[in-house]
Structure 1
Amino acid sequence: MSYLLLTLLLLPLVGSGLLFFWKNASSKYIALAFALAQMFLAFYMLGSFDFNPTVDAPLQYEITYPWSSYIKSSLNFGIDGMSMLMVLLTNILIPLIVLSSYNEAKGYPNSFYALILLMQFGLLGVFTSLDGLLFYIFWEVTLIPIWLIAGIWGQEDKRIKFTTKFFVYTFVGSLFMLIGLIYVYNHAASFALTDLYNADLNINEQNVIFWFIFFAFAVKLPVFPFHTWQPDTYTYSPTQGSMLLSGIMLKMAVYGVLRYLLPITPLAIGGISGEIVIILSVIGIIYGALIAMISTDSKRLIAFSSLSHVGLIVAGIFASAVVTMRTGLTFEGGQGAMIQSFAHGINVVGLFYCADILYKRFKTRDIRKMGGLAKVAPKFAILFMIILLGATGVPLTNGFIGEFILLKSVYTYNHIMAVLAGLTIILAAAYMLRFYGKAMFGKGDDSVLATTKDVSNVEFTVLASLSVFVIALGVYPQPVIEMVTSSVSFIYSSMIN
């Protein structure tokens, strides 16, 4: 069955190469065909996926091929529950991201779609790599296409300044991660994931390695105060770039924290380092929500909302990790983080697309200049509301179950921290309903509304597809919970074994 994973990895690379070198007026259709093929393959693999693997064989579809005996690294890929969920998220969102661009005139369309597929290749490599050096290589592969997408097709002249800032932040963070991985490699004598887990590092070494590796993840998430690149980059990137960055790319860091950081540096996390990350995350939760409350730019509001929600994901992961190291195994924070990562990916892509639709109707991102759209676009009003409810974590939507588990995890760690983290629910409802109320029911310009149409077929397809996932995961989250339970439990167990 390893050939399925190999096909999954190589198909977007083939599609990207085809679009780069074959100038064709049908590039968007070719890109969508490859993206849909990937999605169907991912769901086919899900059909054969064992939700309850044995302890002796937790990985499925594994590929192993030695490629360098000198540095003891190998082409080692495999899928467990965490990987499977992120593979699904990637392959669900990429076709919708490609489709979302169909009503836009893009310069150099073949290159634009080739870069999206190249990004997909890098993302899948990150989520399936079982070798530290391989993980780093794919981590870097994802940086180039998103930098070019944001820099070439971004909005306004400021895009170059902000995309360069994003590139520098991310690249520097990646170098710190590489240094940390090399140090661990020197103690493990191999880049194999299991060998990195078993590296003999004392608490002082783990504290240093923790911050080297965490810096890369903190920038990508981002965690306060490493977030300063995010609002501007999200705002001035093209809509598809914002979707890729927020919907999938930041999930690489969530995945990396669980897959690499927790098992490699458990002593550091059980000490002051873990405490500091939780404090920074809670600060980010409140800070992001408060800035979103006063934001008038629709994309900037969503960017700070994402900062706030990601802060809760990180706080939940580390709260469970600290409790595990001090009192015994509890992995609900990691479980909630994976579930919420999937939900956040769906919701934030939907929100950015809604912001794009509003921009096309009102020719502005300023929500104070919007209004009255519900009267002339009832389909959009309903779909926008479904996605917004998911983003605010309303029960029976996809944002609820993960948020609930994460808050429970933080509560187990510290009651006061849980209360502060829980403010994200109240504040999210306030700024999201303000956003929706202004755009849908505010006093609009009658001359603009008279010529405004409801969603097109493409827009309806994208938003309706996302809405299905918002409702389905909210009503019946059990399959996703079962999918990640064994792999997350293994990660947290490895911290104390």
Structure 2
Amino acid sequence: MSYQLLALLLLPLAGALLLFGLKGKLGKQIALGVSVVQLLITLFMLQGFDSAPTVDSVLQHEINYPWSQFIKSTLHFGVDGMGMLLLLLTGILVPLIIYSSFNEKTSYRNSFYGLILLMQFGLVGVFTALDGLLFYIFWEVTLIPIWLIAGLWGQEDKRFEFTTKFFVYTFVGSLFMLGGFIYVYQYSASFALTDMYNADLNLSQQTVVFWFIFFAFAVKLPVFPFHTWQPDTYTFSPTQGTMLLSGIMLKMAIYGILRYLLPVTPEAVAGISGSIVLILAIIGVLHGALIALIQNDIKRLYTYSSFSHVGLMVAGIFASALLVLNGKFTTEGGEGALIQAFAHGFNIVGLFLCADILYKRFKTRDIRQMGGLARVAPKFAVLFMIVVLGSVGLPLTNGFIGEFILLKSIFDYSILGAIIAGITIILAAAYLFRAYGKAMFGEGDERVLSSASDVSSSEFIVLGVISVLVILFGVYPQPVLDLVGSSLKFIYQSMVS
């Protein structure tokens, strides 16, 4: 049994329960302390992690304990390179998200931080569960805290409308996934991941299972046309809720596609289903970028930017999967998607924090009413620019290598698809620099600027850490590539074995 992984699972749950029952003003310090300890445990696990194991033994830090013989499910957890990367992303972002809220004046703060830790508990479970039923349970665990965070601390006049839509979309999607898992269970020895991979399903059965499971992932990401819940939810949620949704939560679906969908339904992927998803993803890449171009609400602009970037990840994954199933073995699409998911987590959290800083200075999210902030906030101008450059995918920033690999993987399968996806990089530069230029160098209201300040200490630390990571992983991305390589070889080989 891995005691490090056990601690990683149980510590945020214990912290959440403590905060729910705690009275007083120490909630934020306790939450930050728990999340920092989580990061230290993750780094300790990473330090002892073998990034180049044999393909047949990619799992490390395993926990395997009998749970229910009746339904043939076990408490089986473990970490491979893919899971380790997403645990690292979660471990870094959660304390940054918590610390970014230290100057916020919110009610029921202990419950707010308790829900963030409960969310972290669910995320760790999702990224380490090796049993289909267990994966579903943790998938649902993450929904409750983010729904409450969005609903209780979101924008007052939009609270009921957008939280109801968000909950219905994601809950229904989850039920479809459960239905798909149960169907596979009927043809496998248990809910164990390896047994689900070996389930004896024909093409028509795999196709049904594919769409049931994919629907849950498509909603969570989201993939076009299942994205209509996203703009309002991201826009009207509190900043920390938006960060959790965009920075970490959507990565659950990227992980789920690679871990469950592709190896369980390879024949469906090779058929028309995989091609349909590839087309939908490329449509989403372009659709999101074009809508972002015309947005004046800076939060909505970044929401559609995230939607566009996610479409590129999905397109890369399926392009490589189709190449593998057509006889050309490659893991580039999966590598690019995971690297981009890692980079996107930091970049989008940074962008939404910058949007919150702008809102606090200008009292509006409309970029047409902003301008001139660089004159009075030079530190913010520099940090904001670094985050924007990472999001654009400038060489030597963290967003470059993932986008490059993804476009190459799409190009190897479809030149037209790569051209369409590539256009969005130009569009991304257009809408991101447009927003930055208006806010930082536009003609601003002198009365507003006279009372505006540069970043606070907490804002500076969070943006500073993100900026360092944008440059660090842009200059030296190889450790991330090394980390996920063996896992992806196992995943793609499972599709053809």
Regarding TM over 0.5, the answer is yes
Amino acid of the residue matched to residue 319 of structure 1? A
Q: What is the alpha-carbon distance in structure 2 between the residues aligned to residue 436 and residue 385 of structure 1?
A: 8
Deviations 1:414-434 (A, max 9, x none): 000000011121000000000
Per the alignment, residue 245 of structure 2 pairs with 245
Deviations 1:434-475 (A, max 9, x none): 000000000000011111110010000000000111000000
- Percent of aligned pairs sharing the same letter: 70
Amino acid of the residue matched to residue 256 of structure 1? G
Deviations 1:374-426 (A, max 9, x none): 00000000000000000010000000000000000000000000000111210
Q: What is the alpha-carbon distance in structure 2 between the residues aligned to residue 16 and residue 121 of structure 1?
A: 9
Q: What is the alpha-carbon distance in structure 2 between the residues aligned to residue 175 and residue 307 of structure 1?
A: 23
- The aligned runs of 1:318-467 (5 Å cut-off) are 318-467=318-467
> Is 1:311–2:285 an aligned residue pair?
no
Deviations 1:67-126 (A, max 9, x none): 000000000000000000000000100000000101110100010000000000000000
For the Cα contact (< 8 Å) 1:82–1:483, is it kept in 2? Answer: yes
Per the alignment, residue 23 of structure 1 pairs with 23
Q: What is the alpha-carbon distance in structure 1 between the residues aligned to residue 114 and residue 43 of structure 2?
A: 23
**How far did 1:300 drift?**
0.3
Q: What is the alpha-carbon distance in structure 1 between the residues aligned to residue 201 and residue 23 of structure 2?
A: 52
Amino acid of the residue matched to residue 384 of structure 2? F
**How far did 1:329 drift?**
1.4
Per the alignment, residue 148 of structure 1 pairs with 148
Deviations 1:195-244 (A, max 9, x none): 00000000111111100000000000000000000011000000000000
Per the alignment, residue 110 of structure 2 pairs with 110
Q: What is the alpha-carbon distance in structure 2 between the residues aligned to residue 404 and residue 57 of structure 1?
A: 29
Per the alignment, residue 99 of structure 1 pairs with 99
**How far did 1:327 drift?**
2.3
Q: Secondary structure at the match of 2:55?
A: coil
Give the 4+ runs in structure 1 shifted more than 6 A: none
Per the alignment, residue 276 of structure 1 pairs with 276
Q: What is the alpha-carbon distance in structure 2 between the residues aligned to residue 466 and residue 344 of structure 1?
A: 11
**How far did 1:326 drift?**
1.0
> Is 1:73–2:80 an aligned residue pair?
no
Amino acid of the residue matched to residue 131 of structure 2? D
**How far did 1:57 drift?**
2.1
Q: What is the alpha-carbon distance in structure 1 between the residues aligned to residue 356 and residue 274 of structure 2?
A: 38
Per the alignment, residue 49 of structure 1 pairs with 49
Q: Secondary structure at the match of 1:440?
A: helix
Q: What is the alpha-carbon distance in structure 2 between the residues aligned to residue 47 and residue 152 of structure 1?
A: 39
Q: What is the alpha-carbon distance in structure 1 between the residues aligned to residue 256 and residue 386 of structure 2?
A: 30
Q: What is the alpha-carbon distance in structure 1 between the residues aligned to residue 252 and residue 146 of structure 2?
A: 14
- The aligned runs of 1:115-264 (5 Å cut-off) are 115-264=115-264
Amino acid of the residue matched to residue 191 of structure 1? F
Per the alignment, residue 494 of structure 2 pairs with 494
For the Cα contact (< 8 Å) 1:325–1:495, is it kept in 2? Answer: yes
**How far did 1:56 drift?**
3.5
- Which ranges in structure 2 are unaligned for 5 or more consecutive residues? none
For the Cα contact (< 8 Å) 2:173–2:216, is it kept in 1? Answer: yes
**Normalised TM-score (structure 2):** 0.99
**How far did 1:159 drift?**
2.2
**Normalised TM-score (structure 1):** 0.99
How many equivalent residue pairs? 497
Deviations 1:464-491 (A, max 9, x none): 0001110000000000000000001110
Q: What is the alpha-carbon distance in structure 2 between the residues aligned to residue 422 and residue 56 of structure 1?
A: 36
Amino acid of the residue matched to residue 27 of structure 1? G
For the Cα contact (< 8 Å) 1:333–1:405, is it kept in 2? Answer: yes
- Which ranges in structure 1 are unaligned for 5 or more consecutive residues? none
Q: What is the alpha-carbon distance in structure 1 between the residues aligned to residue 119 and residue 172 of structure 2?
A: 20
For the Cα contact (< 8 Å) 2:55–2:489, is it kept in 1? Answer: no
Q: Secondary structure at the match of 1:82?
A: helix
For the Cα contact (< 8 Å) 2:56–2:490, is it kept in 1? Answer: no
For the Cα contact (< 8 Å) 1:159–1:233, is it kept in 2? Answer: no
Q: What is the alpha-carbon distance in structure 2 between the residues aligned to residue 394 and residue 47 of structure 1?
A: 29
Q: Secondary structure at the match of 1:407?
A: helix
